[in-house]
Amino acid sequence: MQGAGHRVAITGYGVVAPCGLSKQNFWRGLLGSGISGSLTVEIENWDPAPYFAGPKEVRRADRCEQFALAAAQEAIEQSGTLPYDAARVGTIFGTGIGGLRTLEEQVIVRVEKGERRVSPFLVPMMMSNASGAAISMRYGFQGPAETICTACAAATHAIGNAARLVAWGRCDAVVSGGSESAATITAVAGFANMTALSTSKISRPFDVERDGFIFGEGAAVFVLERLDKALARGANIVGEVLGAGSNADAHHITAPSPGGVGAIACMKLALEDAGLSAEQIKQVNAHGTSTPLNDSAEAAAVAQLFTHKPPMTSIKGVTGHPLGAAGALEAASVLLSFEHQLIPPTANTKTVDPEISGVDIVTGAARSWRPGPTISNNFGFGGHNGSIILAPYAG
């Protein structure tokens, strides 16, 4: 982050997703076939037990929080013990909705069994800040513990804000990311009735036949540290956060601004923060939800700003759209693309919409590349825009 004082290293990350538990299983899933046939894609046979002390702890954590703690465990195990004052280790987390499953379950309990049967744990389980709070309490992190709740841009905003705390010297390390598990019967009905979900039940970003997204879930968590301190303790550096941008369309509660003008401004902010020119970006990890308006607006924005046409991909053909966790899963996919020197394809996309031009969308199979600075975008209902720029560590 240019002029901020400290370089920001990523020393560990963990992933929980329907296409794979753990980051390497997630990567294999990203290279597999796309999803279709349902309005939702969820983690099958999820077992939270390995991440909790016992059944009582499990029952007191919403599925969203369970995912967050599982991903955090992998991230922190990879990073290693953080030898810093607990007051200088923060937890900045993102979610779009939080513990909606618990809320919906307890509404049913109240209706069927009465108010006295509502769980006393309803509030701490449903609150949006539960996941970040749980991570800070489990590991004893006493620095800033905040939750970003900006719809589908939440995790991207969280990672950007976390990186600034490190770059500015407020924290030596920050654990960040996002988690979501909100595909309840009522939520799915709401998204379907507003015509956001795919009627064909296929997620195919940028395809001429795209007609909406498939509801996903999952979590990814990252350990961000001052680069100099991480090197001093012998940590393995898996990447760097170079910059981040955040702004608002101020246009419409659900639709992006025409031509992607808000997205263009957001990406420019991230480039300025990173001290990079547009031509230095080597990959675009798109928000790419498979909705007609979002994909058209984002592609127009990318085409206008990145005239050298870096390869662009969306992983939502595999993951579906996990709302507030989207930016976290996509940041993890970028780090994995650095490691494997491959850009995963935009799954299910067969024929790119002919009205989308000026962009190079990776389809069909993974593409070899020489890893370099990558911009990852997420845009949320309410007009929230977020972009982060990640890069491989090059010394």
What whole-number distance in Å separates Cα of residue 177 and Cα of residue 324?
Answer: 10
Pairing state between β 8-17 and 20-21: antiparallel
**What pLDDT tens digit does each residue of the chain (395 aa) get?**
766 789 999 999 999 999 999 999 999 999 999 999 999 999 999 999 999 999 999 999 999 999 999 999 999 999 999 999 999 999 999 999 999 999 999 999 999 999 999 999 999 999 999 999 999 999 999 999 999 999 999 999 999 999 999 999 999 999 999 999 999 999 999 999 999 999 999 999 999 999 999 999 999 999 999 999 999 999 999 999 999 999 999 999 888 888 899 999 999 999 999 999 999 999 999 999 999 999 999 999 999 999 999 999 999 999 999 999 999 999 999 999 999 999 999 999 999 999 999 999 999 999 999 999 999 999 999 999 999 999 999 88
In this prediction, residue 254 carries a pLDDT of 86
Return the pLDDT at 2: 63
Q: In whole angstroms, give the CA distance from residue 318 to residue 214.
A: 10
CA gap 278, 276 in Å, rounded = 7
Report the chain's terminal Cα–Cα distance, integer Å: 16
Domain residue ranges of the chain, discontinuous segments joined by + = 8-391
CA count, 13 A, side-chain hemisphere, 342: 13
Statement: the pTM of the whole predicted model exceeds 0.85: yes
Give dist(CA 41, CA 177) in Å, integer: 20
What one-character DSSP code corresponds to residue 322? Answer: -
Q: Tokens 């769980």 correspond to what residue?
A: 119
Nearest by Cα to 331 from 151, 112, 99, 71: 71
Helix, strand, coil percentages in the chain from 3-state DSSP, rounded to 5: 40, 20, 40
As a whole number of angstroms, the distance between CA 343 and CA 285 comes to 9
pLDDT computed for residue 158 by the predictor: 98
CB contact at 8 A, 179 and 67: yes
The pLDDT of residue 236 is: 97
Q: How do residues 36-74 score in pLDDT, each as one tens digit?
A: 999 999 999 999 999 999 999 999 999 999 999 999 999
Residues marked active site are found at 152, 287, 321
Name the CATH code of domain 8-391 (choices 3.40.50.10420, 3.30.1390.10, 3.40.47.10, 3.40.50.2020).
3.40.47.10
Specify the pairing of strand 173-180 against strand 218-226. Answer: antiparallel
Indicate left, alpha or beta for 191 from its phi (over 0: left) and psi (-120 to 50: alpha).
alpha
